[in-house]
Chain A
Amino acid sequence: MTLGRNEVWAGRTMLVALMAGTVLPFVSIFLTALAPSGSVPSGLDWPVDPQWQNFLEAFQVANMATLLASSTFIVVAVVPVTLLVSTMAAFAIGVLRIPGSRFLLVLFVFGLTLPFGGIIVPLYYLERFLGIYNTRLAIVLPLIALYLPFAVFWMRAHFVGVSPEISEAARVDGATTWQLFWRIHLPLARAPLASLGILTAVWTWNQFLLALVLVEDPDQRTMAGALGAFQGHYATNVPLLCAGTILILIPTLVIFILFQRQIIAALVQGAVKG
């Protein structure tokens, strides 16, 4: 390679500067979180007397234990149902190629770019009518439905690439449609299913608008939704707000660091295929 030394250094300096710009905001809220509760420090003041108990206080006032349970419940309800339901539909469209497959695909693709804000108002009235407003189901059901366009599209892209000979061979051996799906195609779809699972889990955990509008009780919300409520209550107590924000970020950050390669790959591929 014939790269100038200056060029290498200029490039690296730029990368390091961008990384610093990305990380500094996190550093700032961490330092602020250690300032005395109720005080107003400057953004990057070194805490002379670090107040670690702020985290404990935030944990208690934000009802963190309940929140973790609530968010986990919502993710555990949304992700498997989304995976199963979308994969079955994609299987019918991509492998069985039932009559009307094209129409179904177009119907699902229609929802691909739909902003959640576009249907949030009717969702509110619909859920009041159905009597599920202000329950966790109020977030779970619309979220699954809103993920379906992407999920069906994603799984269909996988199924279309699977050789039809596999299905034919299984049919010759007398497999029923359900066996063909459950025994043959589902195990083959493990990789795209894993990516889809990661994506929908992250999106669900971070979902705000649905939680804000459809669930009044912050303890029944997702992590992100509860964070919004927390901000409303403690906007004036900046150190406590920062401590609470950090606590709410910790589960996400831990999972990201553990599975960063899979998560990055899933989010990037998810965008490219969707």
Chain B
Amino acid sequence: MTEDRRPSRARVEIRIGWAFVLPALILYAAFVLLPFAMSVFYSATRWDGIGAMTWVGLKNYATVFEVPALFESIVNAFKLLVFFSVVPVGLGLVVASVMHRVAPGRLGAVARTVLFLPQIIPLVAAGIIWGWILALPGMVNQILGWMGLGGFTRAWLGDFDWALPAVGMIGIWVLLGFCAVLLTTAMAKIDPALFESARIDGSGWFREFFSITVPLLKQEIGVCLTVTMIAALAAFDIVYVSTAGGPGNATAVPGIQIYILAFTEQRIGPASALAVLLMLLVVLVILPIQRWTRERAR
């Protein structure tokens, strides 16, 4: 646009252009880029937040891998992936395809709204609600009792074996509706003729699901996977409120350990090393999905 103008004029244009970017750039640099660089820097030091800083190189990273409680937080994050990501996306696909097939009208609209509800409330509220529901006198145990499964009742979030799946259940509750609605919206855009011809050929739900729905929704499935995987790896609110990482370290995820290391134990170095690893982990998990959706998608 500016090529045919005189150079001085073009230079003024460029300056004006940068003036438009400047406010965003300053805020972003000050409160995202600078803290990011500080995280990397802190991760190579020993510091209690007040006293002198000592340079320790990569020692804090070794600490993260050697101390079981810290390394387990990364393992736990991957376990949560199954609940926060695999189940909501898989089940969301099934729900979307069922809604598309049997409930195009009123029921579908109501289902969309209802299933979406957990997505708009604060995660803290979800944590508190489920903290009560999974408690010993809570709803889950009561329903189990009614079903004659009284032997199964337990304090789910306080049980070493069940706490992590129980936290995962909260994630499913929050994220399923989001995935289902996103995928339903995407399905509505698929040419209906495809489904009709499949149905005229007499193909059942399974066939339709695997040969039309899943391949054509590849991009949206990628989106759901990306969003839910970030939610799993970066989980904090739900865990902090419902279990605070316990019992023991059974549900401790990186976010929780960063918080504890930095703000209760004043060990800024290891906290920052874990933070850097967390950011790296998110990128490593997200990149293959991005690549997968791009190939063949267009």
Binding site for B on A (CB under 8 A): 1-3, 7-8, 11-12, 14-15, 18-19, 21-26, 28-29, 32, 40-44, 85-86, 88-89, 91-93, 96-100, 104, 107-108, 111, 113-126, 141-142, 144-146, 148-149, 152, 164, 167-168, 171, 177-178, 181, 202, 205-206, 208-209, 212-213, 223-225, 227-228, 231, 238, 241-242, 245, 248-249, 252-253, 256, 260, 263-264, 267-268, 271-272
Contacts and interface: CB of A to CB of B under 8 A. Distances in A.
Given A25-B133, A96-B20, A206-B121, A145 B28 contact: yes
B21 A89 contact: yes
B23 A167 contact: no
A11 B98 contact: yes
A254 B75 CA distance: 39
Given A114-B32, A145-B31, A85 B23 contact: yes
B58 to A, nearest CB: 18
Interface residues of B, number: 102
A116 B39 CA distance: 12
A167 B1 contact: yes
A19 B121 contact: no
Given A7-B205, A208-B237, A96 B138 contact: no
B69 interface: no
B262 to A, nearest CB: 5
A115 B227 CA distance: 12
27 contacts: A2-B199, A7-B101, A11-B99, A14-B98, A15-B102, A15-B108, A26-B117, A28-B133, A29-B132, A42-B137, A88-B21, A96-B20, A113-B282, A117-B254, A120-B258, A121-B42, A121-B262, A121-B271, A122-B35, A126-B35, A141-B27, A152-B24, A177-B20, A208-B122, A208-B123, A224-B125, A228-B241
Given A32-B132, A117-B234, A142 B118 contact: no
B124 A111 contact: no
Interface string B240-279: 1100000000000011001100110000100110011011
A93 B205 CA distance: 46
Nearest to A15: B111
Nearest to B287: A113
Contact of A121 (B200, B223, B233, B268): B268
Nearest to B285: A113
B181 interface: yes
B103 to A, nearest CB: 6
B285 to A, nearest CB: 9
A217 B268 CA distance: 23
B98 A1 contact: no
A249 B125 contact: yes
